[in-house]
Amino acid sequence: MNLHCAAHYSETLQCREILDPAMQTLVCQESGQLIGFAQLRSGPGPECLCAQQPAELQRLYVSKAWHGRGVAQDLIAAATALAGASGADQIWLGVWERNPRAIAFYRKCGFADVGEQTFKLGTDLQRDIVMRRLIRERA
């Protein structure tokens, strides 16, 4: 986890992501405090999607004190609307197979399992479930 955080999280890296035209970052604040965020990335996804223009929900995090209070659902709704407005036909994500809360949450939000992929966390090769939600039917 330390290796993963060192490689992917720093002020410089997040500034670069916020400025990256292929990424969109949504933040949720309460009284000036950041309580959650979501990041969308456009670009090709795994083959199992069969998508024309997929948008990846690359990150979704809500502060623990705010779990179960609708923040994550608001972020998903806003991210899906943004992806659709940008022309995406599907929104997809990879979730660690041993993250039951997130998997239950995504199913509740209408995401379905469509495949799997590997994710390297530090030196640990993990299995992620690929889930997606259609935004519009194929033309």
- What DSSP designation does 47 have? G
Binding flags for ligand COA, 16-55, as an x/- string (CB under 6 A): ----------------------------------------
What's the min distance (Å) between Cβ of 75 and ligand COA?
Answer: 7
Q: How far is CA 50 from the centre of its chain?
A: 18
What's the min distance (Å) between Cβ of 118 and ligand COA?
Answer: 14
Q: For residues 21 and 34, which CB has a smaller minimum distance to ligand COA in the complex?
A: 34
Torsion angle, CA of 132/94/61/111, rounded to 10 degrees? 20
Name the burial class of residue 104, with classes exposed (0-12), middle (13-18) and buried (19+) by CB atoms within 10 angstroms of its CB.
Answer: exposed
Q: Out of 104, 110, 120, 124, point to the residue binding ligand COA (CB under 6 A).
A: 104
Within 53-92, which residues bind ligand COA (CB under 6 A)? Answer: 60-62, 67-68, 71-73
Across the beta sheet with 90-96, the strand order is: 23-30, 33-42, 54-62, 90-96, 124-134, 112-121
- Judged by the rule CB under 6 A, the positions of this chain that interact with ligand COA are 60-62, 67-68, 71-73, 93, 95, 99-102, 104-105, 108
